[in-house]
Amino acid sequence: MNRVALGTVLALGLSTSVASAEEPDAPSHIHELAFDLRADLPITLIGASAWITSEILKGYLAPASCRWCDRADDGTDTLNGLDAAFRGLLGSKSAQKAANMASNVTGFGLGPALAFGLDAVAVAVEHGSAEDWAVDALVIAESTMVAADLNQLVKFAVGRERPFVHVLGADDKDDTEQPSDNNLSFFSGHTTLGFSLAVSSGMVASLRGYRMAPVIWASGVSAAAITGWLRIAADKHYFTDVLTGMLVGSGIGVLVPYLHRPSAAAAEVSGVYASAARAGGTFGFKGSF
């Protein structure tokens, strides 16, 4: 009996050691997101269609003259001191042109690539599935479309004159490359897009519990901030246009993923990290956001 007992103890110890050794390689738990294709997919597709349509019809929808002109009726410049100060940092015309091109690359290329690409890598690191990534991508895209449509609506309604148009003479304003775009300065679409992508992908990663969440946050927000600065350097937007785009894009980037958190679980949020915490079969909430 002593030999049998000893053998049993050794066998249990060996099995425990093997299990412990394999544990680090086991797939990490990915917290679920609540979504409904019947609602989320139409919102995203309709939002994308609305934005594309508004771009195609910009010549008809955009105000032909500025409603917010930063100029008094007698022609006196009324541009606020903060925006004027940032315009004072502008470089040469060639530098402004280069900044405009670079902002298109970072805004429409780098930003989306980081948001969707790094999320795919994060899913792979966690041994997730293609379905996990598809859900993430849908929530990120939905956030971006909501932000883009809101931005477009405000642009058309407000009609703020762009800074490079503001300094032109009255006879030269119609000779720009895209006259229909002259009065769509407020607020920055590139910046709104960049921050909605960055923050929504960061929120999704945090709510999911991805270990790469800090990387997604840092890279996305950095790219979005660079894009915003380039829009100022290109003389396409004022500082307040970019600041508003950052706030709106970030706000929607937080709100939409947060609304997709599992209804049965509260989120444990601390800084830029969020995870579902289970204790005794119930879920709790703690931390700050």
Which pLDDT score is estimated for 170?
A: 87
Q: What is the mean pLDDT of the chain?
A: 86
Percent of the chain with pLDDT over 90: 77
Which pLDDT score is estimated for 287?
A: 39
Which pLDDT score is estimated for 75?
A: 86
- The region of weakest confidence among 96-100, 190-194, 207-211, 277-281 is 277-281
Whole-angstrom distance, CA of residue 173 vs CA of residue 29? 57
| Size of the chain, expressed as the number of residues it contains | 289
Which pLDDT score is estimated for 29?
A: 75
Phi and psi angles of residue 102, each rounded to the nearest 5 degrees, phi first: -65, -35
pLDDT at 13 over 80: no
Query: In one letter, which amino acid is 51?
Result: W
What angle in degrees, to the nearest 10, is found between the helix axes of 130-158 and 239-259? 140
pLDDT at 5 over 80: no
Name, in order, each residue with C-beta under 8 angstroms of 31's C-beta and a sequence gap of 6 or more: 207, 208, 209, 262, 265, 275, 276
**pLDDT tens sequence across 235-286:** 999 999 999 999 999 999 999 999 999 763 444 443 443 333 333 333 333 3
The CATH architecture one would assign to domain 94-289 is Up-down Bundle (1.20)
- 222 exposure class (CB count in 10 Å sphere: 0-12, 13-18, 19+): middle
Which pLDDT score is estimated for 160?
A: 98
Instruction: Domain ranges for the chain, please list them.
Output: 94-289
Helix (H, G, I), strand (E, B) or coil at 210: coil
What DSSP string runs through 42-85?
HHHHHHHHHHHHHHHTHHHHS-SS-SB-SB-TTS-B---HHHHH
Which pLDDT score is estimated for 28?
A: 54
Q: What is the mean pLDDT of residues 64-92?
A: 94
CB 70 within 8 A of CB 166: yes
Whole-angstrom distance, CA of residue 259 vs CA of residue 253? 11
pTM for the whole structure: 0.82
Query: In one letter, which amino acid is 252?
Result: I
Whole-angstrom distance, CA of residue 154 vs CA of residue 184? 9
